[in-house]
Amino acid sequence: MLIETFIRKQLRLKAHTVIKVEETGECMVVHIDRLGKRLLRCGVCRGRCREVHDIRTEREWRDLSMRKLPLKLRYRPRRVECPRCGVRVEDFPWAEPWARVTTALANAVAVLARELSLQGTAREYGLNWKSVATIVKRAVRYGLQHRARAPVHAIGIDEVSRRKGQVYLTVVYDLERRVLLWVGGDRTEEAVRPFFTRELGKRRCRTLRVVCMDMWAPYAKLVRDHAVNAQILFDRFHIVKHLNEAVDATRRELWRRLVSKEKVEVKGTRWLLLKNPWNLTNDQKERLSTLVRWNSPLVRAWYLKESFQLFWGYKQPWRAKQHLLKWINSAMRSRLEPFKKFTRMLRSHFDGILAWTKTRLSNGAVEGMNNKIKSISHRSFGFRSADLFIALIYHCCARLPLPAER
Ligand SMILES: [Zn+2]
């Protein structure tokens, strides 16, 4: 088989043909031309067009390499007279309109960019990272337009910090399918509202049953405004984080009041107190028991933390509620200011915390994706624009469809 025929078949050309393949030192150039008078399609609506308006100057597309030799397609695009759209550039079966690489190459690059950094992907395909960024942005735009929009029942809303906590983004996950649904440029009410009004829309808001989130007032308000059937659930992992912060604050408060001799004893106990007791080594248990003997505020904090955690195990809502009320009572009597603060937070979010017993959902289901976002943030620290960061988050977490290779 001639190389020309081989490439024509690979590209599945019907109205075009390969007239010549040239090999230069660093690439193979595939010259393409129109095949006879076969009908061309409109680049906008893809309808067949009878008339060719004119022939444009030659354009070039990068394709997948052949045995490490980059393939370049060259062709002079026609402008067709589409009965519906007017004079338009024809549709190229090998590439999306305006793309400078073929769909096959773009998809291969896009798939690798889900695993590697932009720079790493670029190196693998001999492109520069900006071309990879363009490919990813295009893939995301296509994917968002063409993804299936199934009914959603349980979502998790979370915030992601960018540039070391100076900028926040909001991410929304489908907790049942474990897939990213939406990314917003901030965590304010206005920034997140489009998720409910535009992305979900009224109809899909009605099917929402559970919304899992941190205790962040704008999110809760939006759910009450737009998803009246949904139960607000405060995320288990965020609550535990606040609880651990209370233990930490107690420890730091104590530290300030200690004299230096006593400080030696307390030093390094932070992790002992945050660790689960069954994970402690004998030596650590020994240190913990010394601490327990002479240090009552820390001990009270530690017991409070441990007893709070029993809440997650209850199966019956009324028992869980009873436990929580008792715990709140003892925390209020503990004379530990950080715990009193934590308790006030529990009280003002009571229903959303109790909802755990019935729903058993948490954003822990999508923790893997949160970690993935952190690693994207880490490796794209140099990027100025949030746009690219957002595109990468969609690209890696939303399981978007890629354009079909025709
Ligand atoms: Zn058209």
Written as one string, the DSSP assignment of 278-297 is GG--HHHHHHHHHHHHH-HH
Q: Are 243 and 305 in contact (CB under 8 A)?
A: yes
Please check whether residues 25 and 84 belong to one and the same domain: yes
227 and 376 together in one domain: yes
pLDDT of residue 209: 96
Domain extent for 159:
154-235+363-397
Instruction: Indicate whether 378 belongs to any domain.
Output: yes
Instruction: Tell whether 59 and 79 lie within a shared domain.
Output: yes
Query: Per the structure block, which two tokens stand in for 394?
Result: 């969609």
In degrees and rounded to multiples of 5, residue 95 shows phi and psi of: -150, 160
CA-wise closest residue to 136 among 394, 370, 368: 394
3-class SS at 276?
coil
CATH number, domain of 158, equals 3.30.420.10
Residue 183 pLDDT class (50, 70, 90 cuts): very high
Angle value at C-alpha 120, between 63 and 377, nearest 5 degrees:
125
Residues 68 and 178 in one domain: no
202 and 282, same domain (yes or no): no
pLDDT of 293: 62
Q: Show which of 59, 74, 94 is a domain's final residue.
A: 94
Domain match, 353 and 217 both: no
Residues 6+ apart with CB under 8 A from 402: 107, 110, 111, 139, 142, 143
**pLDDT attached to residue 292:** 65
Residue 48 Cα to ligand 1 midpoint, Å, equals 8
pLDDT digits (tens, 9 = 90+) for 109-119: 999 999 999 99
Q: How far is the CA of 17 from the centre of ligand 1 (A)?
A: 22
Looking at the fold, whether 208 and 273 belong to one and the same domain comes out as no
**Residue 98 — very low, low, confident or very high, per pLDDT cuts 50/70/90?**
confident
Model pLDDT, residue 331: 94
Task: Please give the sequence-ordered ranges of beta strands (E in DSSP) within 219-293, or none if there are none.
Answer: 231-234
**Count: domains in the chain:** 3
Whether pLDDT at 233 is above 80? yes
| Cα 86 to ligand 1 centre (Å) | 7
Q: Please give the distance, rounded to the nearest whole angstrom, from the Cα atom of residue 96 to the centre of ligand 1.
A: 15
In a domain, 117, yes or no: no
Residues 244 and 286 in one domain: yes
Q: Which pLDDT score is estimated for 167?
A: 81
Record the pTM: 0.85
Distance 33 CA to ligand 1 centre (A): 21
How many Å lie between the centroid of ligand 1 and the Cα of residue 97?
A: 13
Q: Which residues pair with 156 in a beta bridge?
A: 173, 212
Does residue 309 lie within any of the structural domains?
A: yes
Q: What is the pLDDT of residue 261?
A: 65
109 inside domain = no
In this structure, the answer to whether residues 274 and 349 fall within a common structural domain is yes
Q: For position 381, what pLDDT does the model report? A: 60
Note whether 252 and 190 are same-domain residues: no
- Out of 2-16, 123-137, 275-289, least confident range: 275-289
Question: Within this chain, do residues 244 and 341 fall inside the same structural domain, yes or no?
Answer: yes
C-alpha 91 – ligand 1 centre gap (Å) = 9
Place of tokens 């008078």: 37
DSSP state, residue 195:
I
| Ligand 1 centroid, distance to 88 Cα (angstroms) | 7
Using the mean position of ligand 1's atoms as its centre, give its distance from the Cα of residue 74 in Å: 23
57: in domain: yes
Nearest in space to 37 (alpha carbons), one of 49, 19, 29: 49
Residues with Cβ–ion distance below 5 A, ligand 1: 42, 44-45, 47, 82, 84-85
What separation in Å is there between the alpha carbon of 40 and the centre of ligand 1?
A: 11
* Domain end (from 43, 77, 94): 94
At residue 348, φ and ψ (nearest 5 deg) are -80, -5
Q: What is the distance in A from the centroid of ligand 1 to the CA of 60? A: 23
Span from the CA of 77 to the centroid of ligand 1 (angstroms): 15
Q: Give the distance, in angstroms, between the CA of residue 383 and the centroid of all CA atoms in the same chain.
A: 17
* The pLDDT value given to residue 383: 62
Q: Are residues 378 and 229 in the same domain?
A: yes
Q: Is residue 256 part of a domain?
A: yes
Using the 3D structure, point to which of 42, 71, 94 is the last residue of a domain: 94
Could you tell me the distance, in angstroms and rounded to a whole number, from the CA of residue 41 to the centre of ligand 1? Answer: 8
Among 25-29, 68-72, 338-342, the range with the most confident prediction by mean pLDDT is 338-342
* Per-residue confidence band for 14, with pLDDT thresholds at 50, 70 and 90: very high
